[in-house]
Structure 1
Amino acid sequence: MTERSLETAYRLRTPEDSRKLYAAWARDYDSSFAAAMDYQLPFSVAQTFAELGGKGPVLDVGAGTGLGAFALRQQGVHQIDGTDISTEMLSVADEKNLYERTFIADITAGMPVPDGAYRGVISSGTFTLGHLGPLALPEVLRVIAPGGLGVISVGLAHYRAASFDLAIADLPENIRVTEIEVPIYGPDHQGSNGTDAAILICAYVS
């Protein structure tokens, strides 16, 4: 299930493709993917956010089943909202009582969130092959208030193929970006994707 679903996820083309895949995957996502692959990316994102001084309220973009919120709470960060395109994935997250609130949104169509509504944004595994591309970065970053921080993971292969570096160079002058490369999976991973890496885009908003 893990490798087949991961390969399918990387081939997604439309928001409706994403809704269908994650509707079918939601109930066993934590066991068949996160546990089986030793999925460490949400923890790396949360740890980096906390170490760089990130504080709540935070919006978790591509919240899925709540792995990012769980990791943030381990770092002592609270006041977390979550958004995702999948109703079924958010239903699983809601059962864990990790978020203040959750809401459905297709990032490519815009979020029902005012500019500067949050002090922080995190995103783990949503900017990757078959998912969000660099054109979605401004929509995610616009909800961060001045003085806030965003930590957004981008799969390394996707970062290179989609020219995220060019999109970052075009961001407004009030957004300063640093980048960190991290592994996506831990040593207990299964399958052929275990050595994949991600870039953490750390965006400081002034």
Structure 2
Amino acid sequence: MTEKAPDLDAAYALKTPEDNRRLYADWAQSYDDSFASDMDYRLPQLVALVLSEIFQGPGPVLDVGAGTGLVAQNMLMRGLLKIDALDISPEMLAVAGDKGLYRNLIEGDLTAKLDIPDETYGAIVSSGTFTHGHVGPQALDELLRIAQPGATFVLSINATHFEARGFADKFAALDSNIADLEHRIVDIYGAGADDAHKDDKAHIAVFTKR
């Protein structure tokens, strides 16, 4: 029997970091075409646009769950910034690295402590990482640790995941650590998405570290 190719349903069914590593090892080389292009995946572009709208620099910027580098591809000011990529999958990072978008490629698991010093980054962005089967709200503590005071955050969170996994409560608990929090509700996919996911939404959480 032929093994089923990686797809969005398989990604949503992930439960552990090792599940993530296995899926994206198989998906890395075809991800941009078999998913991002075929599904008209707009979220990385929207995250990049929000960052360009609000971030004054100088950085550096950490792209969390960078995957194949779709957020950095859409950063209009990428030539002016030092951008690092963080992902659990070395295979996805290798694809991103081949695009020449990043200063450093960092393999790391957001469900554990990252090998990154405190207060390293002036901005942290993420598209598609805070979603079904991936990373929950507890990872926000670690991202705040590695962010500089005043750092800009632009993080997408799947709308269904936002409600089910306690992100609203987590943001409330972080009130003394963050400022200027706003949530922008956006479509994850464009008109080319399949019927099962064409109406999927995400929160883009925008805030700064106090």
Corresponding residue to 1:182 among 168, 179, 186: 186
Write the distance in 1 (CA, Å) between the matches of 2:13 and 2:188: 18
The alpha carbon displacement at 1:188 in A equals 2.1
Match for residue 174 of structure 2?
171
CA spacing shift, 1:60–1:54, aligned 2, 3 Å = farther
Match for residue 200 of structure 2?
196
Match for residue 90 of structure 2?
87
Equivalent runs, 1:3-22 vs 2, <5 Å: 5-22=7-24
TM-score normalised by L of structure 2: 0.92
Question: Residue 204 of structure 2 aligns to which amino acid in structure 1?
Answer: L
Question: Residue 34 of structure 1 aligns to which amino acid in structure 2?
Answer: A
Equivalent runs, 1:2-151 vs 2, <5 Å: 5-55=7-57, 56-73=59-76, 78-151=81-154
CA RMSD between the two structures: 1.9
The alpha carbon displacement at 1:173 in A equals 1.1
Name structure 2 gaps, 5 residues minimum: none
CA spacing shift, 1:124–1:6, aligned 2, 3 Å = same
Deviates more, 1:66-75 or 1:125-134: 66-75
3-state SS of the aligned residue for 1:150? strand
Can you list the C-alpha shifts for 1:12-62, whole angstroms capped at 9, x where unaligned?
A: 110000000000000000000000011110111111111112532100000
Write the distance in 2 (CA, Å) between the matches of 1:3 and 1:154: 25
Name structure 1 gaps, 5 residues minimum: none
Equivalent pairs, count: 206
The alpha carbon displacement at 1:193 in A equals 0.6
Deviates more, 1:147-156 or 1:189-198: 189-198
Q: Which has the larger share of helix?
A: 1
Write the distance in 2 (CA, Å) between the matches of 1:136 and 1:4: 25
